[in-house]
Structure 1
């Protein structure tokens, strides 16, 4: 199973442009996340955990060159077992985005992090998707606005930590047009950053009522237990 047209689109100038931007964002976002288990769910064509130092890093998903083939809506991982989950373009191309997020919340430890990559419907890319009847990637997805995604995360007790928009170039296919539109990247970041074609959103799983237990470094005198004399039994039958 694979997303129709994904590999073909990633080989175009527009596909490489988007994937390169996303890779740079994740290379900068994941080095400061620590723990024991990290998971990239979907889009195995990108190596979004490569700059992370967590010892066990897995790619999982429903297609492609992954370490584990699985249903994204029913993850085969134990609850509270994962420190970091990256979701590159998984939610907008799934029939069960809510369930996938619930599964991510289930497997993340308290204070674990999820990083979501998605296409922005309030952009030129979103406008093209609205009028494009193609059933191939990336125009066959149900793009999620950042506000809707934030609402879903809030219901699952996630706290949004930071986000970034990018890919302001119109969705052109030819390399010469991608190169000619490069000037708009700086202008978009400065003047209309919310209209980038792609966003990266990072959120932290919060557990209400939980507080960290820290060691008590103050020296405390330990009261020695008094030794009790053992009562000797008097002999019987004397």
Structure 2
């Protein structure tokens, strides 16, 4: 898919996010991202794409940015302020300048997801973190997407390629980024109406226990590791106060 096709896919995603299934997805991802980002500390954090989701809402870093992947008209502008427009394959940030990068559904809509990850690794500081949201091909949602290729009706917007979580973890490992947490969610079947999504709501309680890897979407959190780097802790003084000498009480004759 060329760049023009990728832009059309992103537009299709934005329309899909307004459907009952898209609202269902956004609710789960918002709750999970709030939990994951609340205790990540630093100075600079950026969310790239999907302005319909506030991925950094619970994070307490002083400098948080929203970068959008396309120029929007006034009517299309999201409620949140967009700091800059950029292509994820060429991030306009200095090397080792970001403490946290969040990629909500960026990789599967990019013609070069490997380059996106290389750029993320470049801009992250040592021990910086990346959080990635993606559609799970090994799910009921992913199965419907496969049917599109053989003439069936797709459920998700057209993507470059759905990326499985094991495959994504392999890519991260090659870039010295270690996955620390992973979550699956949205276990309901590929339903287009709110009525049917509510009927299958019980699957969100049963799914994590009985078929934990078959959720429609996943979130992976990874940490950038730098070989030979040692974290420096507080400089404790090696000098310790001399322990007072204790003389045992004895009965002495006077």
Q: Counterpart of 1:74 in 2: which secondary structure?
A: coil
**Distance in structure 2 (CA, Å) of the matches to 1:135 and 1:14:** 13
Which residue of the partner structure matches residue 247 of structure 2?
none
Match of 2:42 among 13, 35, 51: 35
**Residues 88 and 116 in structure 1, CA contact (< 8 A), matched pair in contact too:** yes
Question: Please, which moves more after superposition, 208-217 or 53-62?
Answer: 208-217
8 A Cα contact 2:68 2:84, kept in partner: yes
Instruction: Answer yes or no: is 1:110 the counterpart of 2:117.
Output: no
What is the rounded CA distance, in whole Å, between the counterparts of 1:139 and 1:74 in structure 2?
23
Residues 143-182 of structure 1 aligned to structure 2 (within 5 Å):
143-182=162-201
Alignment partners' CA distance in 2, 1:19 and 1:215? 41
Helix, strand or coil: the match of 1:193? coil
1:195 shift after superposition: 0.5
Larger C-alpha radius of gyration, 1 or 2? 1
SS of 2:11's partner is coil
1:165–1:196 contact (8 Å) kept in structure 2: yes
Alignment of 1:177-216 (within 5 A): 177-216=196-235
Q: Gapped runs of 5+ residues in structure 1?
A: 221-238
Instruction: Assess if the C-alpha contact under 8 Å between 1:163 and 1:201 holds in 2.
Output: yes
The counterpart of 1:23, out of the listed 27, 30, 41, is: 30
Counterpart secondary structure, 1:203: strand
Specify the alignment match of 1:50 in structure 2: 57
State how 1:47-126 maps to structure 2 within 5 Å.
47-63=54-70, 64=72, 65=78, 66-126=82-142
Alpha-carbon distance between aligned partners in 2 of 1:42 and 1:33, rounded to the nearest angstrom: 20
Aligned structure 1 segments of 4 or more residues deviating by more than 6 angstroms: none
User: What TM-score do you get using the length of structure 2 for normalisation?
Assistant: 0.82
Q: Deviations over 1:82-126 (max 9, x none)?
A: 000100000011001000000000000000000000000000111
CA change 1:169–1:137 in 2 (3 A) is: closer
Contact 1:5 1:137 in 2 (8 A): no
1:135–1:170 distance in 2 versus 1, CA, 3 Å: closer
Q: Aligned partners of 1:107, 1:135: CA distance in 2, in Å?
A: 36
2:161 matches 1:142? yes
Structure-2 residue corresponding to 1:234: none
Alignment coverage as a number of residue pairs: 220
1:49-71: CA deviations, max 9, x gaps? 01000011001131254221011
